[in-house]
Amino acid sequence: MNPLSPPDSIHLTAAEGWLELGNHVEANEELEKIAPQLRVHPDVLEIRWQIYAKESKWDACRDIAAAITNLDADRASGWLHLAYATRRATNGGLKPAREILCTAAERFPNVPTVFYNLACYDCQLGNLKEAKQWLGKAINLAGKKDIRIMVLDDPDLQPLWDKIGEI
């Protein structure tokens, strides 16, 4: 999909800036200045997802992420957003979120975040052996960026904290 052009790209950049400053309300105001026909662009939907996530609107986040994956199936973040929102949305949960991530793992075998999140979900589902394997893959893919420290701050992975030295 083609990138947005000015003035819409300027509003998108401004919305990103507002989010970085922690102001999702102003970010939303900037998105509203984008031409209506371009508000379904995956880049715009990514920012809209972040705004709604700040407001814990998980059902809307799930719908937005589903639209992203339909518009740009090769965008890993759309699949990650879909799993994250599905976990928290009405009639969602860990199992359907995990299924989404399993699909993402096949599509994006080199994206460590997919495997990290699979480790989180399997850990929470009590599948510690699988969680450990997913986490090992995430650590290997991350390369120089050692994510083991992140693990020790992530409550989803608490059941693996005492095994981090083995991974």
What residues does each domain of the chain span?
109-167
How confident is the model over 19-78, as pLDDT tens digits?
999 999 999 999 999 999 999 999 999 999 999 999 999 999 999 999 999 999 999 999
The pLDDT assigned to 148 comes to 77
Centre a 10 Å sphere on the Cβ of residue 94 and count the other Cβ atoms it contains: 17
Residue 55 has φ and ψ, to the nearest 5°, of -95, 5
The pLDDT assigned to 150 comes to 87
The pLDDT assigned to 83 comes to 98
The pLDDT assigned to 109 comes to 98
Q: Is 25 exposed, middle or buried (0-12, 13-18, 19+ CB in 10 A)?
A: exposed
Task: Give the E-state strand segments of 25-123 in sequence order.
Answer: none
> 102: which 2 tokens?
């399993």
Position 93 confidence tier, pLDDT thresholds 50, 70, 90: very high
| Overall size of the chain counted in residues | 167
Cα torsion at 44, 45, 46, 52 (round to 10°)? 120
How confident is the model over 96-143, as pLDDT tens digits?
999 999 999 999 999 999 999 999 999 999 999 999 999 999 999 997
Give the CA distances from residue 57 to residues 48, 88, 100, in Å, rounded to whole numbers and listed in that order.
11, 9, 19
The answer to whether the beta carbons of residues 76 and 108 sit under 8 Å apart is yes
Centre a 10 Å sphere on the Cβ of residue 23 and count the other Cβ atoms it contains: 14
Give the CA distances from residue 103 to residues 44, 61, 115, in Å, rounded to whole numbers and listed in that order.
24, 19, 11
33 vs 164, residue with greater confidence: 33
Question: What CA–CA distance (Å, rounded) separates 75 from 43?
Answer: 10
